[in-house]
Every structure is written in structure tokens, then in C-alpha cells.
Chain A
Amino acid sequence: MNMKTKLCGITLKNPVMTASGTFGSGEEFAEFVDLNRLGAVVTKGVANVPWEGNPTPRVAEVYGGMLNAIGLQNPGIDLFIERDIPFLKQFDTRIIVNVCGHTTEEYVAVVERLAGQPVDLLEINISCPNVKEGGIAFGQNPKMVEAITKEVKRHAKQPVIMKLSPNVTDITEMARAAEAGGADAVSMINTITGMKINIHNRRFALANRTGGLSGPAVHPVAVRMVYETAQAVKIPIIGMGGILTAEDAIEMILAGATAVAVGTANFNSLHATEEIIDGIRDYMEQYQVADISELVGSVR
């Protein structure tokens, strides 16, 4: 049975990676999870300079999911290169760095700093719903998606994954724009913008008022979008959105995802990634799937 997954010319030992923002740079989770088992670690978004993020409360639980509005707090690329990349290099896993910025120039500055670094792939976050400039502003207009993809590709030394927002009328249009701009892959979906109100004190649950919905509640939306996108583009898709169990991950792969990312599930179980890897293996055994690639997009 082969779980090895080819993604943009890079081989992952299995298709399971972490979703950006839920796993830091792996340091805290390494106390509980064997990072060597993961297909890849996708880091929390990093910008050219440190960002303080949003006021608290930054998270709220909702039925079958959660809202977050962290606001891309990050230590900036200098400390990230000095501390986080060397930490991850200790492990036998792939490193995918999530990149954020307010402007094209800021994204490019980070991408350039990463050019000489031992990083396998870049994931460009053009879909964060919780920052005022940048983030989602780039991800809701196909012309801007194509333009920023082109610009990032011009400077990137690693393959580029564009992370797409579901907060659009037609996500396949954004995926096509990323492909046209030269993206090597797309990852989807980022969170869906939501809101929660505390009825007892009539206040917003989040200081930012709105936040990104994630968790099992969004999973069917993500599966549908991955399926539609798989019909629309040739580049590989990293599927994410509410994957809590191996069954959820397999569904995403059948819909057309080459690899999957596990996010909110890490909060529900520190070992979610490992449990999902084991569960995919069990499924492959049960259905005698020799190679994981046989499953990709095989829904009929």
C-alpha cells in the first residue's frame, strides 16, 4: 500500500498535512504528536514584519465548529527564519510556509526571504477574512488573484500554492485565475465568514465582530468546492475544511484533493493528524487500494 503523495514535484510520505494557523510552527504540538509522521507541516502565516493580530476574544465555539479572528498575529519573517525553520528541519517531514501580507510588495518580500531557505513549498494566503487589508481582498477578484500569483511566482524559488477563499460567488473562477497566473497548486477552503452574538449580554462573541467559521460544520461546503474546482483546473488541490476524521479526509480526496490539511480537528484532539493518517491506511486496506493516487477525484 502506497500513501506517498506527489505534490508539485515534491513527495510527501502521506497526503496529510496541518492547516495553517492551527499548528503554529509545530513546536507546541511536537510535545504530543510525532511530526515525522506527517506528510507536511504548514506553518502559521508569516509576514515581512511582526503582526500583533486582533483584540480578544479571538475565538468562539459554535455548533459543530468554531469562529476565529486571530488576525494573523505572527513573529515576522526574521525570527521565523532564525527559529521556526531550524526547528522544523529536525523532523523528517515537508515544510510548507504560509505567507501573508497587506500588499503585493509585502508578500513578495517574504517570498524572497524564503528563497534560500530549506522550505519545500509556499502557500500564499490570499483568503484571510480577518484582516482589513490584504488577505481576502486579494482573493475575491480573479484579476487580482492572477496578478498576485504571477508576481509571487516571479520571485518564488519553491512551488507556489494559492490558498483560496470560499467567500466568493464562484471559487472555480479564482482557481482558474490562480492557474492562469502560474500557481503550482491551490489549497481550499479558507474559513467562511461568520458571526456569533451572545444573547445574554447582547455583545459580539468576537472582538472583531466577524470571524472565520471552521470545523465539521463547513466540511460539506469544502467537499463541494473541491469537487467543482477539480473539474475546472489541472493543477493539484489541497483539500481542507472541517476534516475531523479519516472518513472526512477520504471524502475530500475522492472529491479531487491530492492532499488534505487538518485544522480545527487539532484543537479537538491533539493527535487528530495521526489518527487520520492511520484511518486512511485502514480504509486503503479495507478496500484494497494499492496507491493513494487511485482515490484522487475518483468519485463517480
Chain B
Amino acid sequence: MVHTTPRRFEETAIIIRQEEIADDIYSMWLRTDQIAAHAKAGQFVSVYCNKGSRLLPRPISICEIDRRDGAVRLVYRVAGKGTDEFSGMHTGMQLKVTGPLGNGFPLKEKPAFLIGGGIGIPPLLELAKRLDCEKQIVLGYRDELFLLDEFRAQGTVFIATEDGSAGTEGNVLDAIRENGLSAEIIYACGPAPMLRALKAYAAQKQIECWISMEERMACGIGACLACVCRSANKDAHTNVRNKRICKEGPVFRAEEVEF
């Protein structure tokens, strides 16, 4: 017999509350005792649809963890039929959830940039709450702002918007430059072009950079090899230059991965 201490759990979660916090962006608090007890900032959960025609779980990053109440908060964008189904659910309804999945962010005590773009912003909130250091939080939005007050409670916040309706007009790097900011470590989550730019910026400034990656997933636990990303070196598990985002990631040292 093989005995392992479980670190990941399959739970029937109950929706505590759900609200639309911006256009098509929903915030959902789920009662999940085990997942809440074990989750770390930067990890994600697999949320299963109740509708039988949708077979694959949706990977959604954890935005906040409330250990005392045994709850996790998911903030997600309605991007398809699965997330549309979730967005129509309300308090008291149930969802099957597996987690916490993936590795999460490392917590280092040095002056940090927390940089989020779009729907990559939510997982940085729990990170901001956990990090005990000087935090400059740089958030890039398309237009509509969300989670802003929560972030302001955790550190200094700088904003970039594509249309210039708030903060710096442009992207997160434009906001860093315009405000003359610097830090010794980057934690980032957001679209690939943003992560690519931050990887180059970190290399140029010679600072540590951790990025959270995203990819289409199937199993969510590392078995199916759907969600790989190209790695700089041969990965110990896959034995090729591919890392599993759901298992070795989603958080990587920027120089570990090529994208």
C-alpha cells in the first residue's frame, strides 16, 4: 500500500456569495474547508460544471483565502459557457471543486513589484496579503477597474489603463516608468505579452521575476500533459523541454520558461 498525506482535495463547495464586480467579472466566495486550510497564494482550483455536456473543469486562480471561515474567493471573467454557468449561480448552490492545485508564489522578503494584468490581477491579492515587505502594486486594466480598494489596503497601487481613463495611459511597464518605480523582485500574472515584457525588463534590471502562466487544461493535476509550456532546460519530470503549468507551475521563474 502507498500512503501519502493528501495535499489536494475534492470538495463539494457551497457558494457563500457571488457578485459581479465589473462588466463580466465575478467574485465568488466558496465554502471549502480543506482547500481553504491548505491553499497558498498563486495556487488555483479546478471548478467542475454542473451541466453534463461540459466535461472539463475550469482552472480558476485563488484570489483570497479565509482560513478562519474555511472559504476561498475566486474572481473570474466570463469567457465561455462554463464560466457563464458559474456566473448564474447564487448563494447556497453547490459546485464540485478540486484543489489547491499548482505551486503558488514564493514569499520573499524584499522590496517587491506585484504586477497584474486584466484577469491576472486577482491572484495577486492573496499574495499581497501574505507578503511582509515593501509592496508596489501595479495593475493594468483594459478600462474598467476592479479590486482596487482591496489592493490599496495592502500597499501602494499604481494603475495603467489602455484607454488612459485611469492612471497611466498604456501598460504596466509604462506605469512603472512614468512613476519612476523600482523593486528587487517581480511577482506577475497576466496576458503573455505583458509577461514577456516583464521578463525582458527583469533581465535588463537584473532582478528576480516570478510569473504565473495560463494554458488550456484538461485534468488539472499533471496527468494529461495538455497545459505544458516550453522550458529553458529539460524538465526532470517530463524529460523534455516542457513543464506542466498545472503541476510544476503555474508560477515559474521567468528565465525557466520560454513563451
Q: Residues of A with Cβ closer than 8 Å to B?
A: 21-24, 27-32, 36, 44, 50-53, 56-61, 63-66, 68, 70, 73, 75-76, 79, 90-91, 215-216, 244, 264-271
* B39 smallest CB distance to A (angstroms): 16
Task: Give the docked Cα–Cα distance between A264 and B222 (Å).
Answer: 14
A-B contact pairs, 20 of them (CB 8 A): A21-B224, A23-B223, A24-B225, A28-B221, A31-B6, A31-B221, A44-B223, A51-B240, A56-B228, A56-B229, A59-B226, A64-B53, A66-B218, A216-B52, A216-B55, A264-B55, A267-B218, A268-B48, A268-B55, A268-B56
* A18 smallest CB distance to B (angstroms): 10
- The answer to whether B56 and A61 touch across the interface, beta carbons within 8 angstroms, is yes
Task: Give the docked Cα–Cα distance between A76 and B10 (Å).
Answer: 31
Chain B residue contacts of A57, Cβ below 8 A: 215-216, 226
- The answer to whether B216 and A53 touch across the interface, beta carbons within 8 angstroms, is no
- The answer to whether A61 and B229 touch across the interface, beta carbons within 8 angstroms, is no
Name the CB-closest residue of A to B57. Answer: A267
Chain B residue contacts of A267, Cβ below 8 A: 55-57, 218-220, 224
Chain A residue contacts of B6, Cβ below 8 A: 31
Quick check: is B241 within 8 A (CB to CB) of the other chain? Answer: yes
- The answer to whether B1 and A36 touch across the interface, beta carbons within 8 angstroms, is yes
Quick check: is B165 within 8 A (CB to CB) of the other chain? Answer: no
* 10 extra A-B contacts, CB within 8 A, seeds A29-B223, A57-B215: A24-B224, A32-B8, A50-B239, A58-B226, A75-B237, A75-B240, A91-B2, A215-B55, A267-B218, A268-B57
* A17 smallest CB distance to B (angstroms): 15
Task: Give the docked Cα–Cα distance between A53 and B6 (Å).
Answer: 30
| Chain B 7-39 near chain A by CB (<8 Å), digits 1 or 0 | 110100000000000000000000000000000
Interface extent on B, as a size class? 35 or more
Quick check: is B71 within 8 A (CB to CB) of the other chain? Answer: no
Task: Give the docked Cα–Cα distance between A180 and B216 (Å).
Answer: 41
Chain A residue contacts of B56, Cβ below 8 A: 59, 61, 66, 267-268
Chain B residue contacts of A56, Cβ below 8 A: 215-216, 226-229
- The answer to whether A52 and B222 touch across the interface, beta carbons within 8 angstroms, is no
* B116 smallest CB distance to A (angstroms): 22
- The answer to whether A53 and B239 touch across the interface, beta carbons within 8 angstroms, is no
Number of A-B pairs, beta carbon distance below 8 Å: 119
Q: Residues of B with Cβ closer than 8 Å to A?
A: 1-2, 4, 6-8, 10, 48, 52-57, 82, 98, 215-229, 237-242, 247
Name the CB-closest residue of B to A44. Answer: B225
Chain A residue contacts of B215, Cβ below 8 A: 56-57
Task: Give the docked Cα–Cα distance between A64 and B229 (Å).
Answer: 27
Chain B residue contacts of A266, Cβ below 8 A: 219, 223
Q: Knowing A267-B55, A267-B57 are in contact, say whether A31-B1 is a contact too (CB < 8 A).
A: no
* B96 smallest CB distance to A (angstroms): 8
Checking A31, A61, A90, A271 against B55 with a beta-carbon cut-off of 8 angstroms, the contacting residue is A61
Task: Give the docked Cα–Cα distance between A268 and B57 (Å).
Answer: 7
Name the CB-closest residue of A to B48. Answer: A268
Q: Knowing A53-B228, A73-B240 are in contact, say whether A30-B4 is a contact too (CB < 8 A).
A: yes
Chain B residue contacts of A32, Cβ below 8 A: 8, 10, 98, 221
Name the CB-closest residue of B to A205. Answer: B216
Q: Knowing A63-B53, A75-B239 are in contact, say whether A28-B226 is a contact too (CB < 8 A).
A: no
